[in-house]
Amino acid sequence: MMSIKKKIASLLHSFEKTLGSLKAAVVIITLFIISLIIGTFAESLYGTEFASKLIYRSVPFMLLQLLLFLSIYFAAALRLPYKKRLLGFYLTHLGLITLLAGSFITYKAGIDGQTILHPNQLTAEVELTDKAKFVIQNETQGEKVSMYLPSSPFSSKVNVSHKDILVKKYIPFGERVVEWKKADSHLTSSFPSTTYFLVNAFTSQEITLSASPLAQEFESSATLGPLTLHYLPTELYSCFANLGPSKILVYNAKEKICFIPEERKIEIKQTEGGKKFLAFKENNVIHAFIPEVRPFDLDENLQPRADSPYKVFDLKIFESSPNLFLFGESLSYFSQEEDKWKTHELKRGQSRELPWMKMTIETITHHQDLYPAHGYVSVLPIFKNNEIVKGGEKAILVEMKGQEFWVSSRFPQKVKTYPDKQGLQREGQELRLSIENDSLQLPFSLVLKEFIMKKDPGTNNPASFESFVNVIDSRKSSKKELAHIYMNNPLKKDDFTLYQASYFPLQDERGNPKEDEYGSVLTVNYDPGRPIKYAGSLLIVFGAALHFWINRKKKEKVLL
C-alpha cells in the first residue's frame, strides 16, 4: 500500500521535475514558436478564420498551452523555498501563470462578437462569428432547432439527422461551383447547356445557360447591363443563318425543326391594324400567328392553342436593342453596321468580339446530355486585402426524401416535410434550412440614430467614424440614453463594452450602394479575465526587470 503511494509520489515528482526543467521549457517554447509560425502563415494564405480553426482554437494548441502553463508552474515550484536572489524569477513566472489563467477565463467566459446596426432599427442581437450552426426553422409552427457545426477547418462527414432531414457533410470553406449531372433516362430528348465567359474592359462574367428542365437553378436567358442573352435550341441556328426578308421564323418544339415562311411559300399578310399575320395549314389544322404581338399559335378565335408545338419569332423586334442569341456552340446577332443578321460558330475555347461595348464572348463548356446544378467543393480559402475572396461560404449537404441538396451560408433553402403519418397534417410543413452564426441577446437594445463619417480633406479616405446610438434598457423604465461611440471611445454598459469597429454602405432597392449613407458595426466585448491579465502583465514586466537588476553583477556562469 505504502509502496504504491510512494511510487505515485515519486512518479509525480519526476514528472514535475521533467516538466519544470529548463530543457522542457526550451522544447515547449520551441513547439509553441513552430505552431505560431504555421498559424501566421496560414492566416496570411487562408484567412483569420481558417488559421484560428487550424491552430489557435484547435485542441492540440490548447494542450500545448496547458503544457506551457504546467511547465511554468513546476519550474517555479521546484525553486521553492524562497530565495531572495530569485525574486525576479518568481514574479515573472507568477505573472505568466496569472496571464495564462486570465486568458483561459476570457476564452471560457468572455464574449467577443459584433452587432450590426441599420439606421433606426431596434436590435439587441450580438453575432458570435467563431461558431457556426445549422438551423432548421419550422415556418408553419414557428419552431427552431439548431446544431453546432464541427470546428475543423476541413470538410467533414457529419451523419446527424433531425426527423427526415439527414445532414451528411459539412464544408467550412466552400466554393460554389457548377456541377454537370447526368440526366435521368426517362427524359427522351437531350437539352443543351453551355457556360460562356463574357468580358470587356469594365466587367467580366461567367454565365451558364441551360435549356434543360432539370437545371432548376439556371435560366435560358440572362441580362448583362443593356445586353440580353437568349439561349435557344440548337436547331434554330439554321433558320437564323438563312433568314428571309420577312425576318420571321417558325419553330416546331415537338419535332425540333425550324423553318422560315419563305421556304414553304407562306405568305405574310397584314391584319386590319397593320400587324403582320401569317397562317398555314397542317393535318387539316390551321395555325395562325401575329408574331409582333405574341409568339403563340392562335386558333379560330385568336386564342393561344395550348397543345400546339409551334411558335414564331419576328426577329425585327430584336433589332433595335442589344440581343444576343446563343445556340450552344454558335451565336447570332443583328449587326446595325451591316444592317443584317450575322451568325457564327463558337466552338468550345473559341471567342468572338461582339458589336456592343467591345465585349468578347467565349465558350467555356458545352454539354448536350448533362445538365448543370450548383454544388459545393471544399477549398483552401484565399484571403486578400482582409477578406476571403474564395471559399467564403459554409455549406452542408443534406438528404431529405431520398434527395440530396446543399444548404449554404449564402443560400438558405426552403423545403416541405412529409405529411404527418397520423394524417393530422396533410400538407406537410414548410422548413427553412440555413447556416447562421451563433448569437446572443444583449440585456438592452440599441438604435442607430446617426452615423457620421468624416473624411480626410480632398479624399475619400475615412478620417473617423462616429455612431450616435440610443440605448434602451427595458428593465429600468424605458428611458433612452444617447451614446456617442467612436474610435477609441467605446460605450460601457452592464459589463459590456461596445466599440466602433466598422461600417457598411446602405443599399437602395436595386441593391446598389447608396452614397454617403451607412450602417454601423460595433464590436461587443465582455471580458471577465481582463483584470487578471493586467495583473499578470505587470508582474511579468516588473519581475523580468527585477531579475536582471538583481543579477546585474553576477556574470552568467555558463557563458564564461
Kindly identify the residues of this chain, within the stretch 523-552, that bind other proteins according to CB under 8 A: 523, 525, 527, 530, 533-534, 537, 540-541, 544-545, 548
By rule CB under 8 A, what count of residues binds other proteins? 68
Contact stretch for other proteins (CB under 8 A) within 18-26, 311-319, 366-374, 400-408 = 18-26
Instruction: Decide: is 52 part of the binding site for other proteins (CB under 8 A).
Output: yes
CA distance 254 to 243: 21
The amino acid sitting at 362 is: E
- Nearer to other proteins (CB atom), residue 202 or residue 421: 202
Applying CB under 8 A, among 15, 41, 148, 418 the residue interacting with other proteins is 41
Instruction: Decide: is 499 part of the binding site for other proteins (CB under 8 A).
Output: yes
Residues 6+ apart with CB under 8 A from 388: 47, 49, 173, 381, 382
Minimum distance, C-beta of residue 523 to other proteins, in the bound complex (Å): 5
Applying CB under 8 A, among 450, 456, 481, 494 the residue interacting with other proteins is 456
Contact stretch for other proteins (CB under 8 A) within 178-186, 264-272, 293-301, 520-528 = 520-528
Kindly identify the residues of this chain, within the stretch 76-115, that bind other proteins according to CB under 8 A: 103, 106, 112
543 and 94 Cβ atoms separated by less than 8 Å? yes
Instruction: Decide: is 123 part of the binding site for other proteins (CB under 8 A).
Output: no
Instruction: Decide: is 560 part of the binding site for other proteins (CB under 8 A).
Output: yes
Instruction: Decide: is 18 part of the binding site for other proteins (CB under 8 A).
Output: no
Applying CB under 8 A, among 225, 226, 428, 462 the residue interacting with other proteins is 462
Residues 6+ apart with CB under 8 A from 466: 451, 452, 453, 454, 484, 485, 486, 500
Distance of CA 44 to the CA centre of its chain: 19
Transcribe 348-401 into DSSP letters: TT-EEE-SSTT-EEEEEEEESSEEEEEEEEE---EEETTEEEES-EEEEEEEET
378 and 171 Cβ atoms separated by less than 8 Å? yes
Applying CB under 8 A, among 10, 14, 18, 30 the residue interacting with other proteins is 30
Here the cell at position 447 is 438604435
Instruction: Decide: is 227 part of the binding site for other proteins (CB under 8 A).
Output: no
**DSSP-derived secondary structure letter, 476:** S
**DSSP-derived secondary structure letter, 428:** -
Kindly identify the residues of this chain, within the stretch 355-414, that bind other proteins according to CB under 8 A: 358, 360, 382-385, 389
Q: Give the number of other Cβ atoms within 10 Å of residue 474's Cβ.
A: 11
- The residue among 371, 413, 376, 389 whose CA lies nearest residue 208 is 371
- Nearer to other proteins (CB atom), residue 263 or residue 456: 456
Instruction: Decide: is 200 part of the binding site for other proteins (CB under 8 A).
Output: yes
109 and 507 Cβ atoms separated by less than 8 Å? no
Applying CB under 8 A, among 19, 20, 39, 467 the residue interacting with other proteins is 39
Applying CB under 8 A, among 109, 463, 516, 531 the residue interacting with other proteins is 463
Query: Hey, is 463 helix, strand or coil?
Result: strand
Instruction: Decide: is 487 part of the binding site for other proteins (CB under 8 A).
Output: yes
Instruction: Decide: is 482 part of the binding site for other proteins (CB under 8 A).
Output: no
Minimum distance, C-beta of residue 433 to other proteins, in the bound complex (Å): 31
- Nearer to other proteins (CB atom), residue 135 or residue 546: 546
**With the C-alpha atoms ordered 383, 388, 389, 392, is the resulting torsion angle positive or negative?**
positive
Helix, strand and coil percent figures for the chain, each rounded to 5? 25, 45, 35
Question: Which is it for strands 227-231 and 323-326: parallel, antiparallel or unpaired?
Answer: parallel
- Nearer to other proteins (CB atom), residue 158 or residue 538: 538
Instruction: Decide: is 177 part of the binding site for other proteins (CB under 8 A).
Output: no
Name the site residues for other proteins (rule: CB under 8 A): 22-23, 25-26, 29-30, 32-33, 36-37, 39-41, 43-45, 51-52, 56, 103, 106, 112, 199-204, 358, 360, 382-385, 389, 455-459, 461-465, 487-488, 490, 497, 499, 501, 523, 525, 527, 530, 533-534, 537, 540-541, 544-545, 548, 555-556, 558-560
